[in-house]
Structure 1
Amino acid sequence: MATHDRYPLMFSPLDLGFTRLKNRVLMGSMHTGLEDIEGGFERMAAFFAERARGGVGMIITGGIAPNHEGGGGAKLSTPQEAAQHRIVTEAVHAADPDVKIVMQILHAGPLAGTPACVAPSAVRSRIGRFVPNELDADGIEKQLADFANCASLARAAGYDGVEIIGSAGYLLSTFLVEKTNTRTDEWGGSFENRMRFPVEVIRRARAAVGDDFILIFRIPAMDMLDGGMSGDEVIQLAKAVEAAGATIISTHFTWHEAQVPTIATMVPRAAFAEVTGRIRSHVTVPMITSNRINMPDVVEQVLAAGHADLVSMARPMLADADLVNKAYEGREDEINTCIACNQACLDHTFTGRLTSCLVNPRACNETLIVPQPTTRPRDLAVVGAGPAGLAFATEAAQRGHKVTLYDAAAEIGGQFNLARRVPGKEEFSETLRYFRRMIEKLGITLRLNTRVDADMLAAAGHDEVIVATGIRPRVPDVAGIDHPKAVGYIDAIMGRRDIGKRVAIMGAGGIGFDVATLITHAGPSAAMDIPTFCREWGVDFAGHPRGGVTGIAPQIEHAGREVTILQRRDGAPGRSLGKTTGWTHRLSLQRRGVKLLGGVTYLRIDDAGLHCLVNGEPRLFAVDTVIVCAGQEPERSLYDALIARGVPAQLVGGAQEAGELDAKRAIAEATALALAA
């Protein structure tokens, strides 16, 4: 029996008539930032070629604007620009001629970062920089012509197709919704008129590229907006797009300005697939579903349920370029799973930095980070099996070094063992599963429950010691910090201390928010249960009211604790959280009644509670428990002892710089160090 038989639907080909997809998995569109830098097309070519070799059936690029007003970044509007794109298409087809490469045409409309941005009406987006310029009749004709021109040039550049994105608050979607389309001419008013522009874009594009070219329309299947599109309108649009010439319809969920998480780790796997399935029953063209589908068993389940014909896995291809091959070969336990943290991908995208991946720093850096077998194998000790130690150990072992990994704990993981216990962060367990398998596969000697010292390591005769001992929690200089009411965050997360009903949390960084989430949580985790997720975020997948949102106040089960998060800095706590996920954590805690206060000076902890100054005014927080999340300090005592003994040693991760327990930085630094070892 072939190993891929456990995923018969995932590995079945799809006949599109004029061409064929070799399987049902595609790499969805992500803007990496490589599109916008000098030399970026060469780096994109290496990035996409590696994913093509990894087994996907189709790749969709990041968004490319059809004109200047469509984005202000990478665009395709001239033959000269098309020549750059050929670098990418030729690399992908050379890597695997059976892999289709499709370019996404993205006209950002009111979200374009240029004063020249356009929209059907001069309605500024809640997250837009500019009020868009309202399109007149000539302007609409220009945009339609530019879409067709862009599609034609994509074909000339060697692409197998284009995807036109009609969702997310970008240009096409703003025609569809009444709040952003206030026109009274043939492009506004009734839904039939409002959908005229995106349908015409598809019709013009099909006329420009001919019949033997993949044309995908990314439909706003559920826009998560009050007053957004109804389920019936989405189906009406899907039918019209099919009639206009779309080869495939891809479902997209949410506008960027909507306040429902759709791709964060707190979202259940394949939560939105049933929405795709409902639309699929009304059209005959194949349909793509997406969002939080990160492992092959989930792909197979979605296809078996009839929810889609194809499954998009975008960020999972950042995490592991070989995901599809590993599934085909029965090596699922070796997949470096996307944990949907967003820290190195979307947080970078929306802050103008190049995309990469927390668990795979080689992503988008394939030409810069090139693993090579070592020419002088050494005996290396790694002390600390947290993210930095695990990353170094596996990379060094893959290069041919002999590696012994020590940790005083009974299991690997370090701070990831804390994170995975927080409701909404269950995916962090997947990273530890991956590293456990790599330790086994690579023959790394693992010594758990082993507290080493400099004498022991010196006697062991290792050539070098990599000190990845991480951090120790900072103990603030506050009177009464050793009072029984005071609890360290590690003890709180691990359940080693009882937590009272009234709680003050000292510190509003990521750990403080994680602790607040944990101690206020009750019932099933929304990340593991779709009905709970729907109740907590006011979403109705089955009924599909306008926008998919119920308009009913979110229903959140919580532990009944009174919790206040405090920070020393002035301003609203939580501003240091991730760009694309921080708002979800703040909003979720506020809905559980958690109070957030800045401008706090801690005075003392005593039997009465926590005494503070808040904006200079004395205040007593009469709490049962004070959880201390006051930052971290590097744990370097072993390193100092090794250096004193003359044992070669290097620091990496939190032991070098504690920061905000930055696993992204720790894994990236450890990978670089291992590749230089």
Structure 2
Amino acid sequence: MLKNVFSPITIKGKTMKNRLAVAPMVTNYCNEDGTCTEMFSAYHETKAKGGFGMIITEDFTVRPRGKGFKHLPGLWNDEQIPGFKEFTKRIHKHDTVLIAQIYHAGRQSSKMVLGEAPEAPSAIPCPFSPDMPEELSVEEIKKIITEFGDCARRAEDAGFDGIEVHGAHGYLISQFMSSYTNKRTDEYGGSLQNRIRFAVEIVKDIRSKVSKDFIVGYRISADEHVTGGRNIGDTLTIVPFLEEAGIDYIHVSAGVYRSFDDIIPSQYRGHSWNTDAAGEVKKITKLPVISVGRINDPRLAETIIASGKADIVAMGRQSLTDPETPNKAKEGRFDEIRNCIACHHGCVKNLLNNVPIQCILNPTLGRESKVALEKTEAPKNIMVIGSGPAGLEAAITAASRGHRVKVFEKNRWAGGQFRIGAVPPGKGEMINYINWQLNELKKLNVPVLMETEVTPELVKKEKPDVIFAATGAVPIIPNIPGIDRPNVVSAHDVLAGNVNTGNSIVVVGGGCVGAETANQLANYLKGVTIIEMLDAIAGDEIVVPRWDLLEDLEKNKVRICTKTTVDEITDAGVKVSGAVNEVIPCDTVVLAVGAKPVLGLADTLKKEGYDVRVIGDASKVGLGGEAIMEGFEVGRTI
């Protein structure tokens, strides 16, 4: 079925067994001095075992002042080589082509990371950094060029099959290439030829220091998607110069930090959205072209390659969520592939906080050598109450270890709040994860009894040794005059399809749940107003999904009243005060002011002497990733 994906391709004598590559992603898994760690090695080895034909490791820094994050790998001195030499040996055992991406962050860093000001072509700060960068002198530019070459030489000494020059995403090389960030008037600024000089000289310096069979790739943003930045036309003009300088493949990405939503798009963005740009590059070069960008299914990769738009497909976050994606696809086990939902809550959130990344759907990420599931020597009868992500994850993990597990759910559908969270626009892929969990339980022969409410009598009949109480949460009902009116409903009931609304709606609460519910209703062409007491809405969402949500709300003409509180719900509408003082007419009032744990049954069962482990929102109302991790841990340690 995937004849193109699973056909080999050879670059500089190195043969990839398939066309699936791991895209480079910052993990913060290395030591602060740039040396290798077991965490870094085990993380990448898991992907190699999972069948990827190529792994492009992230952001090897060419000099300490080039770091954009604190715990990046580095090859700026020879002392860093031995650790990575052992690393490359581990990866090569699995027949994987291994590429080290090398880079300098330029202005896209900070004093917090570097201990000094970043350096850049021009004194123009990055929107994500508070610090003014220092302009590089020509002497320093020449030095950095040689440092790229030296870094590549060390990568070859360490056993890598090649390097990828990071000329994308607004980092230093990209900064020189774009008039958006380069305002120099010397030989490294101004005209196109001057702006690409830095990149061309880097490639030539690398070529002079590595063997002829060593792969030299190049990553480029086809379009920077900022006013005054490079576009696809500029990129098509630049690529032949890079090819002439000596690169062996071109990796087509997009964006700079100001257009961060193009570098790491959220679930609001369509699949393989950047592939057409790769196709344009493919038309003007004979080099292998890599496409990347929201590709989370090998069948998407197959169509991209079959269309002729790319030779190789890179999967970044998909390799975090399921590092075994290639092997499962090759064996036709598509329903066993756990798909990335582009939520940003584990990977990007941690990245922006300069801590090791996680994946909310993969509790083992970053802990691959520490959390192997061991078979139990004392199988227990485990009753799981609730089929939200925490309960299902606990059931999967416990059953995988040999425990006898049953899951009980009082509702028609599994998934709990996670399923309801998939209802608003742009969030539909969250359902895929619940489907994956149910499929895993089916493989493990774990019964999932739907529309079965657990009572103390049922528990007595089942005689469990342990109970996992994943009973979830219910909406908080605030003490507001008029709250008991029949036209007042919860966001939970609206998204679950339990109630309908009128055409004029006030949503009370502008957190993520309230904002997404408002977007859902406005998408149905209803008039919606959000009331939020804080100074901004959706403050609990991550940067890029929040940008996308706010853009959608604006498109759907949702009125947003911040720094405003609800005083009363009356016949005339909702009376508010603060930044806005008026009565807002409406047919329906939707409450989205938080949730509280459901603990009644768990407390009763504890009093009756049962061993009850409370998990998920029933333990503490939070995000899906926290619930999944809690479910995994209770299943792993029982």
Q: TM-score, normalised by structure 1?
A: 0.90
- Offset, 1:595: 2.8
C-alpha separation in 1, matches of 2:291 and 2:399: 38
**Secondary structure of 1:361 counterpart:** coil
For 2:288, the aligned partner's letter is P
Task: Quote the Cα distance in structure 2 between the aligned partners of 1:637 and 1:36.
Answer: 46
> Aligned residue for 1:556?
none
CA contact (8 A) 1:470 1:653 kept: yes
Give how far 1:344 is off. Answer: 0.3
Report the 3-state secondary structure (helix = DSSP H, G, I; strand = E; otherwise coil) of the residue aligned with 1:110: coil
Larger CA deviation: 37-46 vs 149-158: 37-46
Equivalence for 1:675: 636
Superposed CA deviations along residues 361-418 of structure 1, whole A, max 9, x for unmatched, are 1111112322111111111010100010111011111111111000011121111221
Report which stretch shifted further, 145-154 or 368-377.
368-377
Determine which of 452, 455, 466 is the counterpart of 1:453: 455
1:61 is the counterpart of 2:62:
no
The yes-or-no answer on 1:563 pairing with 2:564 is: no
Counterpart in the other structure of 2:295: 293
Q: Is residue 600 of structure 2 the alignment partner of residue 637 of structure 1?
A: yes
Q: Does 1:16 align with 2:11?
A: yes
SS at match of 1:257: helix
Question: Which residue identity lines up with residue 251 of structure 1 in the other structure?
Answer: V
Name 1:136's counterpart in structure 2. 137
Q: For residues 228-627 of structure 1, what are the structure 2 equivalents within 5 Å? A: 228-258=229-259, 260-261=261-262, 263-521=265-523, 559=525, 561-569=526-534, 571-615=535-579, 618-627=581-590
Displacement of 1:612 after TM fit?
Answer: 2.2
SS at match of 1:258: helix
Determine if contact 1:512/1:565 at 8 Å carries over to the other structure: yes
C-alpha deviation, 1:86, in angstroms:
2.3
Distance 2:609 2:261 in 1: 55
CA distance in 2 between partners of 1:23 and 1:282 (Å): 24
Bigger RCO (CA 8 Å, 6+ sep): 1
Are 2:98 and 1:101 equivalent residues in the alignment?
Answer: yes
Q: Quote the offset at 1:638 in angstroms.
A: 1.0
1:25-46 CA-partner distances (Å, limit 9, x unpaired):
0111111111245996111111
SS of 1:451's partner is coil
Q: Structure 2 stretches of 5 or more lacking a match?
A: none
* Cα deviation, residue 290, structure 1: 0.5
For residue 259 of structure 1, report the CA deviation from its aligned partner. 6.7
Report SS of the residue matched to 1:111.
coil
Asked if residue 52 in structure 1 is aligned to residue 48 in structure 2, the reply is: yes
Aligned residues between the structures:
629
Corresponding position of 1:158:
159
Task: Give the whole-Å Cα distance in 1 for the aligned partners of 2:260 and 2:340.
Answer: 23
Distance 1:588 1:87, change over 3 A: farther
Q: Give the conservation status (yes or no) of the 8 Å contact 1:71–1:113.
A: no
% identity of equivalent residues: 30
- AA matched with 1:171: L
2:77: which partner in 1? 78
- Label 1:371 to 1:260 Cα distance change in 2 as closer, same or farther (>3 A): closer
Q: Is the 8 A contact 2:117 2:132 kept in 1?
A: no
How far apart, CA to CA, are the structure 2 residues paired with 1:245 and 1:371? 47
| Alpha-carbon shift at residue 251 of structure 1 (Å) | 0.6
Distance 1:267 1:259 in 2: 12
Q: Distance in 2 between matches of 1:657 and 1:244?
A: 57
SS in 2 for 1:397: helix
Match of 2:627 among 644, 648, 666: 666
Match of 2:611 in 1: 648
Report what 2:169 is aligned to: 168
Distance of 1:109 and 1:620 partners within structure 2? 52
- SS at structure 1 position matched to 2:432: helix
Deviation readout 1:435-462 (Å, 9 max, x if unpaired): 1211110000111010011221122111
**Partners of 1:224 and 1:260 within 8 A in 2:** no
Measured after TM superposition, the shift of residue 272 of structure 1 is 1.1
Residues 505 and 528, structure 2, Cα contact 8 Å, conserved in 1:
yes
Higher alpha-carbon deviation: 384-393 or 207-216 = 207-216
Between the aligned partners of 2:261 and 2:385, the Cα distance in structure 1 is: 41
Contact 2:12–2:248 at 8 Å: present in 1 too? no
* RMSD of equivalent CA atoms: 1.6
Structure-2 separation of matches of 1:633 and 1:306: 52
Partner AA of 1:636 in structure 2: L
1:346–1:580 CA contact under 8 A, matched in 2: no
1:231, distance to aligned residue in structure 2 (A): 2.4
Q: For 1:581, what is the secondary structure of its paired residue?
A: helix
Distance 2:260 2:336 in 1: 35
Query: What displacement does 1:636 show?
Result: 0.8
Query: Contact 1:347–1:580 (CA<8 Å) still a contact in 2?
Result: no
Q: In the aligned structure 2, how far is the partner of 1:336 from the partner of 1:30?
A: 19
1:415 alignment partner, SS class: helix
- Sort the Cα spacing of 1:310 and 1:450 in 2 relative to 1 into closer, same or farther, 3 A: same
1:34 aligned counterpart, secondary structure: coil
Matching residue of 1:535: none
Q: Cα offset for 1:618?
A: 4.3
Q: Within 1, Cα distance between the matches of 2:560 and 2:101?
A: 41
Q: How does 1:176-191 map to 2 (within 5 A)?
A: 176-191=177-192
CA distance in structure 2 between the aligned counterparts of 1:368 and 1:566, rounded to whole angstroms: 46
Give the counterpart letter for 2:632 in structure 1: T
Per-residue Cα deviation, 1:109-161 (whole angstroms, up to 9, x for no partner): 00122334211111112222321111111011011011111111111112111
